[in-house]
Every structure is written in structure tokens, then in C-alpha cells.
Copies of this chain bind each other. A is one copy, B any other.
Amino acid sequence: MAADRLRVAVFGASGYVGGELLRLLLGHPQVEIAAATSTRYAGRPVGTVHPNLRGLTGLRFRSPEEMGGFDVVFLAAELQTAIKVGADLAKRNECLIDLSPAYRLRDPAVFERYYGTAHTAPELLGSFVSGHPEDNRAALRTARLVSVPGCMVIATLIALRPFAADDLVDGDVIVDCRIGSSGSGAAAERLNLHAERSGALRVFAPHGHRHEAEVCQASGLAVRMTATGVEAVRGAQVVCHVPLRRPLSEVEIRRLYRDAYADEPFVRVIAQRRGLYRLPEPKILIGSNFCDVGFSVTPDGRRVVAVAALDNLMKGSAGTGVQCLNIRMGWPERLGLAFAGLHPI
């Protein structure tokens, strides 16, 4: 049976996004993991770094050299490594799905402004298709190079799309992002220490966060993003303050959302009048590929507070990566991504 399976490699498999990819791909019925690279852990079983996978696979990390001939390569390295190896991986493999920030922005000048350094492979910037299925499904069906957006970008685009599409926004949209500690990766730095990070409400980007550039590029809206690290390992939530061009009722807005997402397998429009979970939050989405979205409108109908939540390592990264793979291969989109989330957790 394995002979029929797609041969997939994960470049940068010892990080948190890489580990999530391994978990998803191990459970995917159409895929064989042909390689999982790690410079640091080469030779070791993947279960020594990702303890949830112990006993589920005999796979070992290998060094990242000579990565060619795979059906699909997922690139889960940090920024500079991804820029360095991107062109080569693109050339030597059938399909490349990048989960790093390396190829998300199209304009090198915008990249330089937000990242504080010039992009060293600017010629590639235009060649990646954005891995955001909710806006871009058709192009993904035939894409050879895919760049999955940042986790907060995905949530924000899903929250804002009904308003952006209909030109309903009047002025700046303020987006308050909250993100768990896995969003800053597995690096052993003081900012990631448990004693420092536990219980944090750390406004690490009051303005000018890199994801802001992505949202503006994709939505055409004037978005002002503030990002706060919160007490959680996984999870991201965006609270968007949307000034409307004309008053809208709750019923109208709900219809906008339902029309926008009626056929989306991983977007749930939350419209619950009772209970504790009336607006989306990541707690109940951990491990799932859903992005929940909901809203509340002021009595005068002029201002919407739109809220979206997701698991940053799933729908915010590896899960969307696998969703893109499913689309690209013409497989059912939910394949390997059906986990419902847990409650309570």
C-alpha cells in the first residue's frame, strides 16, 4: 500500500510546527513520510523530541542535506534558513509548501520595512501562491509553490473577509491579537522561560507586527495590529474593531458570515445566544483545524467587534498546510484533519 502513497518530506521537523506536521502526516491515509530533517537531532527517533509520537513510528530525523525528489516538501524552518534553502527545494521537488514567513509578502520593500532587513531572494517573492484556502482555493489546486500565512493573519482574514469583500469598512480596523507561547517557537531564550512567560499579558508588539503587513496585503484594508502573548501554549485569537460605512443589523452581518463560509470545511460561524462560549476562543479548538468566527454589533449598527480563534499550530500553520496539500492533490479537504477539539480542556 505504501507504494501508492505520496512521498512527503518535512524540512525542519524538530520544531513545533514540524512536529505538528509529523503528527498529522502520520495519521494521513494517503501520505508516507519519506524524510524528517533536523540538524541538531539527526539520527534520533522523532519520539525523543516529540514525545506524543513515541511508539507510533520508527521514523528518525536525518540531516537536511540533499533534499530532492520528493512529491511534496513542507518547509518548517525559521525565517533565514527558509530563505536560504527555498530556491533549491523549489527546484528539486515536485511541490513546496512553506510554513515560514519567508515568502508571504510580495513586495521586497514591504518585507524590508517590517523585517528590518532586505530579502536575499526577492526574485522568489512573487512565485508563491498564498496558502489561504478561504480566499484562494482555485489557485491552490494547481500550485507548485505555496506559502501559508501567519496564524494571526489567517484568523484576521477570516474575521474580516465579509466586510472587506463588500467594501463595508470605513477607516482603520484595529486588531487585537492574543497568542500562546508556542507561537515563538522552541528556542531556549529568556522570553520563553516558564517562570517569565507563565501568566504573561505581554504586549510584545504594540504596533507594526509583521503579520500586519500580510493582512494589509491580502485584505486591502488599513489594519492596525497589536499583539499580546497570553498564558497558553497553543491558541490564537483576534478581536477586530471594525467601523462600518453604513449601519448593519445583527441579522445582516450573520448572513454575510454565513454566505461567506457556508461551504468552508474549517470555518464555523458561532452565533450562540446562551452559554459561556458565545464568542470564539482557542481553548476548545486545541488540536482541531477549525477557525471559529463570531461577532457582536453595537446597538447603533456602526461598529462590529469581530472575533476569530484557532490553534496556531493547526489551522494557524501545519493544519492549513495539510489542507493545502489535500486541495492540491484533489483529496477530500478534511482528510487527516477531522479532530473535533476537546471540552473541557
Contact = CB atoms under 8 A, between A and B. Distances in A.
Contacts of A290: 55
Interface string A304-345: 010101000000000000000000000000000011111111
A89 interface: no
A296 to B, nearest CB: 4
A223 to B, nearest CB: 12
A252 B316 CA distance: 39
Interface stretch (A5-13, A95-103, A129-137, A180-188): A180-188
A141 interface: no
Interface in A201-216: 201-203, 206-208
Given A193-B186, A207-B305, A200 B281 contact: yes
A244 B174 CA distance: 15
Given A48-B275, A54-B272, A195-B186, A231 B234 contact: no
B233 A231 contact: no
Nearest to A51: B277
Interface residues of A, number: 87
A263 to B, nearest CB: 13
B201 A182 contact: no
A194 B178 contact: no
A171 to B, nearest CB: 9
Contact of A226 (B192, B277, B305): B305
B340 A53 contact: yes
B281 A201 contact: yes
A287 B178 CA distance: 24
Nearest to A344: B195
A241 to B, nearest CB: 5
B232 A231 contact: yes
Contacts of A226: 176, 239, 241, 305
Interface in A1-51: 16, 19-20, 23, 26-27, 47-51
Contact of A283 (B49, B55, B200, B295): B200
A230 B282 CA distance: 12
A197 interface: yes
Nearest to A243: B172
Interface string A264-296: 000010101011110101111111101010011
Nearest to A281: B201
A275 B338 CA distance: 30
Given A16-B344, A343-B52, A197 B194 contact: yes
Contact of A199 (B196, B207, B233): B233
A319 B289 CA distance: 22
Given A27-B340, A206-B305, A194 B198 contact: yes
Contact of A272 (B48, B234, B281): B48
A275 B52 contact: no
A224 B241 contact: yes
A303 interface: yes
A48 B274 contact: yes
A138 interface: no
A234 B345 CA distance: 6
Contacts of A47: 272
7 residue pairs, one from A and one from B, having the closest CB atoms? A206-B296, A195-B344, A194-B197, A51-B277, A206-B305, A52-B341, A231-B231
